[in-house]
Structure formats: structure tokens, C-alpha cells
Amino acid sequence: MKRVFIIDDHPILREGLRRLLESQPGFEICGEASVAAGLTERILQLKPDLLIMDIALPDKSGLELIKDLQSIGSNVPILVFSMHDEMLYAERALRAGAKGYLMKGSGADSLATAIKTVVAGNHYLSQRVSSHILASLSGKRKAGNLPIERLTDRELQIFELIGRGATVARIAEQLHISPKTVEAHRGNMKTKLDLADAARLMREAVIWVELSAG
């Protein structure tokens, strides 16, 4: 039996994943969590064969959690299952150490295929993202002029939300952080991206989101 650990802060989503896995021969759930706190120790103790996780967790970026697991020597294959746009986050998730990325809302067949692919030790990405990454490697992908790689994973999350029109209050609510923290991240982003003010930051974020989805 392949033992699966699920990390997501939505109980209904975890229940859906549990039912899907229970319907697949050879899989069982060995643990669940809604937050990142204490997970590195639990994963090391349980030694699951697969970790399915969101990157939007209440207490920590899932991308940072992936890096934490890599740093302590955990080699559990990780499938990111998230609402966040794969065109913006899949490549970064793989660089952090994940084996696959699938957006919530994908069909059950796609999810089952992704699970089986990643638990076998292979990488899983949608055709759209695979083509996007190949275009990048061949130098054909469109890109903006901003040094986005300077941003932390949390800053990238906020930059994307700004580009999608979210207010400071909405970003704080969605990421479970304070508005003051959002403002601090906005200030850091303006410095790193050499942008003069909040209006310029918003304009560049909108442009970047549109280019990334193209």
C-alpha cells in the first residue's frame, strides 16, 4: 500500500481527496494536517510515500514548507494541488523540490493520473505548463522586464494578487496575515523591483500576470 499524507486547510477538500484515494487500489491515508506547524517532524516519523499539499497554508507558504522538507533530507514525493495559477507557481514549486503541480478544479481522472505519476517518482505537469517551461528553455517565452526572481515566495503570492486586483484587506484575509504585513511586503517589492510607488507596483503586477498567462 502507498501511504499518502494530505496538507490542506479546507476540510471538504481533504475529504474529497480521501475519498478519491480510497477508491484507488493500493492507496491509504496515513495522516492529514491543515497547517505547516510541526509537519517536518510528522513527515519524518510517518515516512509517507506521497505528500499532497496546497501552497496556500494559514501559517506558512507551502513553497517554504517544501524547502524545509528538502533541507531535513526528506525525499517524499510531493504533489502540489492548489488554486494558485499553475503558470505562475508550477515552475517555482518544482524548483523548491515538488514532483508535480495540479490546479484545484482539475478532473478526478487528471488528479488520479497526477497522483500515480508522482508516487512512482516521476514529474507531473499539465501540457500547458510543460509547453510554457520548454518555451522558456528555448528562449521563446515572453517575459517582462522586472527581476521577479528577487521576490520571495510570499512576495510573489502578494504580487500575483495585486495583479489580479485584490485590495490590501483582501490579500491579508486570503493569506491569513495582517494588513500591516501586506504593506511591508509591498514596500519590499517596490524596492526590489525598483518601482517608485504603489500605483506603479499595481500596473506592473497586472502586466506581469497577463504576460505569465499568455
Q: What are the residue ranges spanned by the domains of the chain? A: 2-135, 148-212
What three-state secondary structure class fits 102?
strand
Query: Cα separation of 143 and 202, whole Å?
Result: 17
Query: Cα separation of 91 and 87, whole Å?
Result: 8
pLDDT of residue 44: 92
Second CATH level (architecture) for the domain 2-135? 3-Layer(aba) Sandwich (3.40)
pTM for the structure as a whole: 0.76
Q: Tell me if 2-135 shares its fold with 148-212.
A: no
Query: Cα separation of 159 and 14, whole Å?
Result: 28
pLDDT of residue 213: 58
Q: Answer whether 121's CB lies under 8 Å from 138's CB.
A: no
pLDDT of residue 143: 46
Second CATH level (architecture) for the domain 148-212? Orthogonal Bundle (1.10)
Residue range 129-140, pLDDT digits in tens: 888 777 665 555
Low-confidence stretches of the chain (pLDDT < 50) are: 141-143
pLDDT of residue 179: 94
